[in-house]
Chain A
Amino acid sequence: MYSKGFKPLAAASAVTLSASLILVFFYAPLDADQGFVQKIFYVHVPMAIVALCGFVAGGVMAIRHLRSGDPSWDLRSYVAIHMSIILGLGVLVTGSIWARASWGHWWVWDEPVLVSFLVVFLLYCVYYPLRFSIEDPERQARYSSVFAITAGAFVPLNFVAVRLAEAYTHPRVLSQTGGSLPGEMRLTFLVSLAAMALLFVTLWKLELTAKHAAMELKRLRRRLADRQPAAVA
């Protein structure tokens, strides 16, 4: 049901992922300022963009779930948020490494994007305890969707607030992210971004299929267990 078109998708993400790695290490020039460390940018930034889009997509799928009442949209939303949280952990770790390498500290509070990301990440971590402390499956799906929508709307608002708070003391140029990159770096960045997005969709589909299969298996087992005593009698 969820595995349609999985193989070509997986192949495409494998190809772009290897292409992006080749570009990162052999094509993109070394950064004049930061040298080799800057290459973590090609992992960190695409991961952050994809994770944030995944969170918002989870919210949009949750809206579809509440509108239609179809539990498969809740499953899609859940898996999208699940994958984004995993990527989010990667964002925080790579961001921290980058901060250590270029500013000398593991964590810098005056980097608004990183700080907003931490707040968003902390909020989404509550998705699991919320979801799994509700037993009734129908209510679980509804409550999780309400959470996903609220948190999805919170993401942009939080970014505005944190950026304003930092801009107050540290005015910064907005053109830092991609707009002013030299050509080779921009191409590498775009390929990395596409690779990360494809990887996300592939993993999302894989996890959806796995979750769906596990649920099917559980349902069949239950039916079998219901039938067996009758067969013995």
Chain B
Amino acid sequence: MIGTAATILRKDLRIELRTKESVPAMTLFTITVYVLFHFGLDRDSLDGALAAGVLWVTLLLASVIGVSRLYASEREQGGVDALLLAPVDRTALFLAKAGALLLFLVAVELVAVPAFAILLLGPGLGGALPELLAILVLGNVGVAAVGALVGALAAETHARELITPLLLLPLLVPLLISCAQATEPLMRQDQGPEDLGRWLGLLTLYDVVFVLLSVAVFDYLLED
């Protein structure tokens, strides 16, 4: 199963490297949203809760783009049928898609987080980098699990560009709460982790629940 998943993942990454569809679009989108927030809030620099909220809302909105494109190649070129014909575990597709989304998010954040620090963040990020990395990693895992499931749910509907954000964003509310609350003290002037354990714990719980749940129900989306 891991081997199959790795093969599909390699295929997705190769498609992304050749077409450059998702990651550049998501990155561009985050920068655009920063500009929107700059004018919408009329602030040159943010800190504390406002900064954490803007960063996480932007990242989650960008993930919507990634999720809505995630199954494009399967849908348009009949990849699912080929997978169903092959004698492999269907969970492999889920693992590959979640892995691809995870790598896309990491690639986006490599640009989007430093850009946020330069464009909008008041206090520097230097002192709190390890904590922020931990939050980002756990957050990405959650978004990847939920995104791979929602993408598959929406892929077969007629209104997928409507369904994807409507379904994804409410499901991500607990993740947004924990990520934003955990990030908030790191972005204050007198920065330092605060209550980090509780939020990372909740985030881990969220990740575990949605990874297990997605693996359990994903097979039913592919039965044809």
CB within 8 Å of B: which residues of A?
66, 119-120, 122-123, 125-126, 129-130, 133-135, 139, 142-143, 145-147, 149-151, 153-154, 157-158, 160-162, 164-165, 168
**Which residue, B159, B170, B205, has most C-beta atoms of chain A within 10 A?**
B170
B160-203: which residues lie under 8 A (CB-CB) from chain A? Answer: 162-163, 166-167, 170-171, 173-174, 177-178, 181, 195, 198, 202
Chain A residues with Cβ under 8 A from B205's Cβ? 157, 160
Contact between chains at B170 and A143 (CB < 8 Å): no
Contact between chains at A164 and B223 (CB < 8 Å): no
Chain A residues with Cβ under 8 A from B195's Cβ? 168
Interface size for B (C-beta < 8 A) is 31
CA distance A169 to B163 in the complex (A): 34
Contact between chains at A66 and B173 (CB < 8 Å): no
Interface contacts (Cβ under 8 Å), in number, total 87
CA distance A36 to B171 in the complex (A): 37
Contact between chains at B167 and A130 (CB < 8 Å): yes
Q: What are the 9 tightest A-B residue pairs by CB atom distance, in nearest-first order? A: A161-B174, A123-B170, A133-B157, A133-B159, A133-B158, A126-B166, A165-B177, A146-B217, A161-B177
Contact between chains at B178 and A161 (CB < 8 Å): yes
Contact between chains at A161 and B206 (CB < 8 Å): yes
Contact between chains at A66 and B170 (CB < 8 Å): no
Chain A residues with Cβ under 8 A from B39's Cβ? none
CA distance A164 to B173 in the complex (A): 13
Chain A residues with Cβ under 8 A from B209's Cβ? 153, 157
Contact between chains at B163 and A150 (CB < 8 Å): no
Within 8 Å of chain A (Cβ to Cβ): is B95?
no
A125 and chain B: residue at smallest CB distance? B166
CA distance A120 to B170 in the complex (A): 8
CB within 8 Å of A: which residues of B?
149, 153-154, 156-159, 162-163, 166-167, 170-171, 173-174, 177-178, 181, 195, 198, 202, 205-206, 209, 213-214, 217, 220-221, 223-224
CA distance A147 to B177 in the complex (A): 22
Chain A residues with Cβ under 8 A from B166's Cβ? 125-126, 129
Q: How far is the CB of B159 from chain A (nearest CB, A)?
A: 4
Contact between chains at A149 and B213 (CB < 8 Å): yes
Q: How far is the CB of A142 from chain B (nearest CB, A)?
A: 5
Contact between chains at A66 and B213 (CB < 8 Å): no
Contact between chains at B153 and A146 (CB < 8 Å): yes
Q: How far is the CB of A136 from chain B (nearest CB, A)?
A: 9
Contact between chains at A119 and B173 (CB < 8 Å): yes
CA distance A98 to B157 in the complex (A): 39
Q: How far is the CB of A131 from chain B (nearest CB, A)?
A: 9
B221 and chain A: residue at smallest CB distance? A146
A135 and chain B: residue at smallest CB distance? B158
CA distance A133 to B206 in the complex (A): 29
Chain B residues with Cβ under 8 A from A162's Cβ? 173-174, 177
Contact between chains at A150 and B213 (CB < 8 Å): yes
CA distance A143 to B156 in the complex (A): 9
Sampled A-B contacts (9; CB under 8 Å): A133-B159, A134-B158, A142-B220, A147-B153, A149-B217, A150-B213, A162-B177, A164-B202, A168-B195
Q: How far is the CB of A98 from chain B (nearest CB, A)?
A: 23
Contact between chains at B224 and A139 (CB < 8 Å): yes
CA distance A158 to B169 in the complex (A): 13
Contact between chains at A66 and B217 (CB < 8 Å): yes
Complex partner residue of A130 from B149, B153, B173, CB under 8 angstroms: B153
Chain A residues with Cβ under 8 A from B157's Cβ? 129-130, 133-134, 143
CA distance A133 to B149 in the complex (A): 17
Chain A residues with Cβ under 8 A from B170's Cβ? 119-120, 122-123, 126
Chain B residues with Cβ under 8 A from A134's Cβ? 156-158
**Which residue, B149, B162, B174, B178, has most C-beta atoms of chain A within 10 A?**
B174
Chain B residues with Cβ under 8 A from A125's Cβ? 166
Chain B residues with Cβ under 8 A from A142's Cβ? 220-221, 223
Contact between chains at B220 and A153 (CB < 8 Å): no
